[in-house]
Structures are given as structure tokens and as C-alpha cells.
Structure 1
């Protein structure tokens, strides 16, 4: 079988957006490499077929449009080649090996059987065509916040759940109920499979949906590993669904958009309780201001 190999060479701040574009265009997993400082190479695969030219044109159009959203894509090279071996379509799996996150978590692909280190909480993952292998800095920042802040019994919303990695981590760290939401039906299917594989389906409800639309009740932790532009819309609705004392974990923000997102958060009645950093990526831990917190002390509802 023939496959089209798509390689996008870009700047670090555009990695998450480009990876999402490739995944949304059904390239399967995305292989990430760093050939030199300040340069990231992302690679995915498409089966050769009648729709491939349209999909490639869509990928190029969307990548070229990223500067309009404040993302530097330089050098911005998009290259394609046809390969014969279907094994190339899964080459990214060779780069996905078990790895630790924080002090307690251990992420391992479902196709590897190596035993984890002692006392690590294991998350077995097959990201498939959904974003969220755990390798990206924005995901690891969220995982670290969960590890540090969760005490057990929390209700959690995971908005833009992708592979379900954050929802699974929340459940394994003691959440009583987790609602995982993604607008992409492929991501919803992948997340459901990963949730079941990790034995937490009784506490993690995976649904298709757009951000917080149609979600009832309040959460102690709202996870949102999104792009800065989506945060600008998302944050206006989020405070109304925070339980008293709850937090929003807003990740996926590049450094040069941090102040813009913080300003919108303040305008929505939120304050920045903590900022976590990993290279050019930022994760904001947001809490309600005192006045907003008082307004949220009504019924917290259920997930």
C-alpha cells in the first residue's frame, strides 16, 4: 500500500497547532523530531487515495494561516513524498516509549510491556489519531498540576480531552467523577478506548461536545489544554462552572500570548494563582476572585 508522508518543519511555538492540524486531517499519530535548536519537524501519513490532494491542500492552507493567530511557523516548510511500505504509517510509534511525568505518573504506550518503576501510577495510552500522547510540554504541565493539587474526591471537567490522557490521570489520582469532552468524534472514540483500557470507565464519562456547551453542574478542576485563541472564548464561560475553591488549569499557551490570556481571565473574574513554564509553553492555574467565588457558592450540581 502506498502512503503520502507529510513533513512540516516549523517553530516550537507552532508545534501544538500544527500537530492538531495533522491529526484533524487523519494523518494518524504525529512523529515529532528536533533536528536543530529552535526547529521542530512534525511528520504524519495519509493513505494514497482520491481525497489525498484535497487533504494536503487543506493542511497547507491551515498551516499557512497560523501567523494570523500570532504563531510563528518559520521556516514553515511543508514537504510530501510517497512511500511504499505501510510500516511508515506507524513509524511514530517507534518514538513513543514509556516515560515518567512528575513524581508519580508513568506514561506507557499500550503496545509496550516493560514493567513500570515501583510506586508509579501507570497510564497506558494509544493516542491513535487524537492529540495527547503525553509527550508535549503543554500536556505534561497539566499532568504536573494534577499531581500536585489533587487530594482525592474531586469532580473534574477535561475540555478538549483528545486521547483522554488528562482524564485518565485525574481518575487515577483520585477524582470521584470526570467528564471528558472533545469536539472531534475520532478523539471521543480514542478517549473512550483509552479510558476503558485503563479501567476507569466507571468514573470517566467521555462525550462529544464543544467546550462547555450543554454541560451542567460545577467542577473542582477544569482542565483546558487549548490554544490561546480558544482560551479567549472559553474563559468567559468557565467561571460559572467552577465549584467554590475550584481551579481552571489553562494550558497550551505560548509565552508571547500569556499576558493576553491573563488579561481576559481577569476580566472574567479570575485571578492567576500559579504559572508553570516549560520552554515557550505556559500553563495558568486560575481561581475565582473573592466576589466571583461568593457568587459560585450555590449548588455545585453533578457531572
Structure 2
């Protein structure tokens, strides 16, 4: 299916008004492009760990909308132009010129698969479910993963940091808690390394589905990996379901702004001597997270590791 993309050149100050105008015309979806940096409030609200390096904001912006290329869009386009001309009479909306281009509807859910290929982390090979086994995999532990629409192929630096810690600390018979489990890859790796069981938690219902499917595709027995939807930081039902002082290992590959409050809650679920391995920390937030961990008298930091601009902090419950 082909779409016509109509891009309006406007100003950052007029973006909201232009967007509202398009809505009044019956256009439901829009795309906004500008160079306005996120505020600190925005960053905290959205749990953004890092922001793109944008050029200086020159006050210009672009608002785009899409219409079916196979339909007659003349009436809609005429209506939009009339509305823009009307707005020009009482406020500065920039040139308000409209540029037309064409794009094709793509299978965004599956197109990314062309970039996900088997790779190794230590002696472990992570293989997408749609790839074939090769002779090179025979002497390795192979994990099959299909993240679906949940986060977690294992290829990201943050995930690899935690996988390496699991390879170092996970022992036969361990009970593992995987906070923010995503595709369930860390739970699967832990079981394959000898853990007795893993419980995953996540806010995304897609993670629940993906984790169960990845346990099944790796032929992990029913019951060894469980997963529940919810926030263990402040949801009493999730906390009770997880249980207290019963885990040998806790994994948390999530954002720094979530790890900080988690560090206050998580020790209640860990055995004394249990390992808490975290990642998802951008290097500029390393000191902040480390200091937060040190505020908990029950946590002793064992290691701080780096992979590119990402950081792993591994601690032990005293």
C-alpha cells in the first residue's frame, strides 16, 4: 500500500496550532520533527536515559500527515491549505508550504529481523528462531530467541553485560528473579546455565507472551519459568507473588531511573548473599546509580563493568 506524505514547514511555536488544525480537518495521525531538546522533566517522565545530539533549535519545525495514495486527496488537501491560510491572518505559522512525497507501507514489525543474526557471548550462542543451526554451533550452548514485540534480542550491550554476569555467578539450583524481563532472554539464559527456576516481571503484556514462547522454543519444562505483569517496586500483589528472601540472583536490565527506586525494594526479595546484577545504565548516570546503591546498607557493590557507553553494576545482599 502506498501513502502520500504531506509535510508542512512551520515553526516550533505553531506546532500545536497546526496539529490541531489537521485534527479539525479529520486527519488522525501526524508526525512532528523539530530540534527542541527534551526538558529534565520530560526526561524523567519518559524514563529517557540519553537524548540525541540535535543541532541548535532555529525555531523551525515540520508537521507531516499521510493519506492513501490510491484515493483522491484533492478535497482534503484544499481544506488543509484553506485552514493554514486562515491561521496566517492572525499568527505566525512560518511559510506553511506543503511538500508532497510518497512512501510505501512496510511490515515494520518484522523488517528488523534482517538485522538480527546469531552471535556469541562467551561460550553462549544466541540464535534467532528463524535461523538454521550451523556446524559452528555444535560445541556451544545455543539459546533460541524471538523477541516478538518485546524488548530483548540479546544483541544490545546492556543485555550482554548481564548475560556475562549470569555466566559468572549463576549456579546449578539457583532461583532467579528477572525484573523487566522483556523477551525473557535473561530468564532463559539462567535456566540454560543451570538455574532451577526463574520468575520474570514486566509492565508490558507483550513481554508475558514473548517470555512464555521463548521458554517453550528452548524446551524448558513447564513451571521453571513463570512471568507476571506488574511493577515489583510498588505493587504489593506482585511483591507477594514474587516472595521474600528467596532468590539467589536478581537480574534487572532496565533504565537507571527505574533501577534507583528498585534498589530500595529489591533486597527484601533476595537471600542474604544473593547477587543483584543490573544494566541499562548510560555512562553519564553511572555515579548517580552507584551512589543510590550505596545508600542501601544491605547492598555491597562487587563489580562495575562497561560495554561501550553502557554500564553494569553488580552487587550482593549482605
Which residue of structure 2 aligns with residue 11 of structure 1?
none
2:129 paired residue among 103, 110, 122? 110
Asked if residue 260 in structure 1 is aligned to residue 288 in structure 2, the reply is: yes
Equivalent position SS for 1:200: coil
Which residue of structure 1 aligns with residue 152 of structure 2?
132
Whole-angstrom distance in 1 between the partners of 2:204 and 2:4: 23
Which residue of structure 1 aligns with residue 243 of structure 2?
216
Q: Is the 8 A contact 2:49 2:256 kept in 1?
A: no
Deviation at 1:84, TM superposition (A): 2.5
In structure 1, stretches of 5+ residues that fail to align are 6-49, 294-303
More deviation, 200-209/215-224: 200-209
Computing the radius of gyration from Cα coordinates, the structure with the larger value is 2
CA 1:67–1:151: 2 relative to 1, 3 Å = closer
Whole-angstrom distance in 1 between the partners of 2:146 and 2:62: 26
Length-normalised TM-score, structure 1: 0.71
Equivalent position SS for 1:238: helix
More deviation, 60-69/113-122: 60-69
Q: Is the 8 A contact 1:156 1:177 kept in 2?
A: yes
**Deviation by residue 1:134-185 (Cα, 9 ceiling, x = unmatched):** 1110000000110111221100000000001000000000000100111111
1:62-73 matches, cutoff 5 A: 65-66=42-43, 71-73=50-52
> RMSD of aligned C-alpha atoms?
3.1
Whole-angstrom distance in 2 between the partners of 1:271 and 1:227: 20
**Deviation by residue 1:96-132 (Cα, 9 ceiling, x = unmatched):** 0111111x21111111113252321111111111110
Q: Is the 8 A contact 1:3 1:89 kept in 2?
A: no
Q: Is the 8 A contact 1:67 1:73 kept in 2?
A: no
Deviation at 1:244, TM superposition (A): 1.9
Whole-angstrom distance in 1 between the partners of 2:178 and 2:197: 11
Which residue of structure 2 aligns with residue 53 of structure 1?
29
More deviation, 153-162/116-125: 116-125
1:1-303 matches, cutoff 5 A: 1=1, 53=29, 65-66=42-43, 71-75=50-54, 83-84=103-104, 86-87=106-107, 89-102=109-122, 104-115=123-134, 116-202=136-222, 203-212=224-233, 213-214=238-239, 215-217=242-244, 218-269=246-297, 270-288=299-317, 293=318
Deviation at 1:197, TM superposition (A): 1.1
CA 1:196–1:63: 2 relative to 1, 3 Å = farther
Length-normalised TM-score, structure 2: 0.68
